[in-house]
Structure 1
Amino acid sequence: MSDFSSKIRLQKCKYMADEISKVCTLSDDTYKALCLSEREHFVPKGFSRHAYKLDALPMLADQWISSPLTVAKMSEALTCKGADSVLEIGCGSGYQALVLSKLIRRVFTIERVERLLMEARERFKNLNIHNIHTRFDDGQNGWKEYAPYDRILFSASIPKIPENIFEQLADGGILVAPIEKGHKQIITRFTKENGTIKSEELDDCLFVPVKDGKGY
């Protein structure tokens, strides 16, 4: 990758972050993370010209890379400042994990579709990203070995958060997920205080649903 090409991509990232900031309020940290996250590396071949538009894009295995606007909203809802570790359920292309890697020291991300995870791992390797740890598994199992997590993020919609996932959230931690309610999905923020879970609905959204088991 030439320095010139990287400079052009970073200029596009900044333009994209500026467009997002016109739609929703961004903290300085989230804005900077978006400016440093080159989405072009995470979109399917043939879609590079669309990489910095505020659109979701299709991937293999009937999955989608979320709109950067949605990624920004989810990242902002996590309130990452002061957090040391985050668990992401649904790695997908790896773009959301990339943004989180600019905000939180340790990122743990799980993907149930092996082909997607292999591609994401290769992208992280090519970009010399060393603080993202990946796991091939059903995300609903969580990743107990490194729990508790200061933050947990679902990058797929789910009707209800499994209790074992709340158990892996640190006290004082925040979990953000697209919760299915009828025909709608709502970005919902959960906080854990003295073992009690409180929830707050934030915004409508659209994600692929969480699925059981592993896929290949």
Structure 2
Amino acid sequence: MVSRGLGAAGDSFGGYRARLAETLRVAGIRDLAVLRAVAETPRHLFVPEAVRHRAYEDVALPIGAGQTISRPFTQARYLEALRLTGREKVLEVGTGSGYQTALLAALAGQVFSVERVRALAESAQHALKAAAVPNVSILVGDGTLGWSAYAPYQAIVVAAGGPEVPPPLVEQLAPGGRMLIPLERGGAQTLTLVERTAGELRHTPLGDARFVPLVGEHGFDA
């Protein structure tokens, strides 16, 4: 876990961040580290100017290229389910806006994030720099292939719904590791926790989900 200041974000949005964290606590998020990360991470830096006035509402917002930044409750639920200790090496599939990347960076040791849309990757890198997030590396590429150069990962987060768990991600998940992925069946998505234990994979459904499609060699066609 890396402690950081807010860099160019300043502190003028601090009250909004605190209220968002309280909203999530009331909604059922209990992990104090996750709530603290939300209270310290400047979400307004990760959304387009046109919707910046809604940055601290618990809603999903468009970020361009047909993608969205998920509602904060959804992202907090993701992070809570991972049970990060602050030491993990994490793979994120789908950098998107970079906001979830920043939250992961506050909760883990190192984050490696893969984004297939170059414009989004570049925008996320700019926002992460503005937010003074140091422990993140971003690759432009097919996220369903993972990022084998830095494997294995103690945690993997897939921020898009796929038809199956991509085999390369299974290969890159460390023993004892945890992966969160929305799996799609019959047009409906289920957020699924995949755990590698004793040489096998255990799948635990965590509830309904609604994410953009996972596009790539081991996902849906573009």
Query: In the alignment, what sits opposite 1:22?
Result: 26
Alignment pair present for 1:122 and 2:126: yes
Alignment pair present for 1:7 and 2:11: yes
Counterpart amino acid of 1:86? V
Query: In the alignment, what sits opposite 1:33?
Result: 37
The answer to whether the Cα contact below 8 Å between 2:191 and 2:209 also exists between their aligned partners in 1 is yes
Match among 170, 173, 181 for residue 177 of structure 2: 173
Alignment pair present for 1:205 and 2:200: no
Query: In the alignment, what sits opposite 2:158?
Result: 154
- Using the size of structure 2 for normalisation, the TM-score is 0.91
How far apart, CA to CA, are the structure 1 residues paired with 2:213 and 2:49?
Answer: 24
How far apart, CA to CA, are the structure 2 residues paired with 1:129 and 1:89?
Answer: 18
Query: In the alignment, what sits opposite 1:69?
Result: 73
Query: In the alignment, what sits opposite 1:58?
Result: 62
How far apart, CA to CA, are the structure 2 residues paired with 1:131 and 1:82?
Answer: 12
Runs of 5+ in structure 2 lacking a partner?
A: 1-5, 218-222
Please give the secondary structure, in 2, of the residue aligned with 1:46: helix
How far apart, CA to CA, are the structure 2 residues paired with 1:135 and 1:41?
Answer: 20
Counterpart amino acid of 2:14? L
Runs of 5+ in structure 1 lacking a partner?
A: none
Q: CA deviation at 1:83?
A: 4.1
How far apart, CA to CA, are the structure 2 residues paired with 1:208 and 1:134?
Answer: 20
Q: CA RMSD in A?
A: 1.7
Percent of pairs identical after alignment? 34
How far apart, CA to CA, are the structure 1 residues paired with 2:29 and 2:140?
Answer: 34
Q: Deviations over 1:72-113 (max 9, x none)?
A: 011111111254210000000001000001000100100000
Q: CA deviation at 1:183?
A: 2.5
Please give the secondary structure, in 2, of the residue aligned with 1:48: helix
How far apart, CA to CA, are the structure 2 residues paired with 1:177 and 1:103?
Answer: 19
Alignment pair present for 1:143 and 2:118: no
The answer to whether the Cα contact below 8 Å between 1:152 and 1:175 also exists between their aligned partners in 2 is yes
Please give the secondary structure, in 2, of the residue aligned with 1:100: helix
How far apart, CA to CA, are the structure 2 residues paired with 1:125 and 1:22?
Answer: 31
Q: CA deviation at 1:150?
A: 0.4
Greater alpha carbon shift after TM alignment, 13-22 vs 73-82:
73-82
How far apart, CA to CA, are the structure 1 residues paired with 2:173 and 2:192?
Answer: 15
Alignment pair present for 1:194 and 2:198: yes
Q: CA deviation at 1:207?
A: 0.6
Q: Deviations over 1:136-155 (max 9, x none)?
A: 00001100111000000001
How do residues 76-95 of structure 1 correspond to structure 2 at under 5 angstroms?
A: 76-81=80-85, 83-95=87-99
Please give the secondary structure, in 2, of the residue aligned with 1:120: helix
Count of aligned residue pairs for this structure pair: 212
Please give the secondary structure, in 2, of the residue aligned with 1:72: helix
Q: CA deviation at 1:204?
A: 1.2
How far apart, CA to CA, are the structure 2 residues paired with 1:45 and 1:82?
Answer: 32
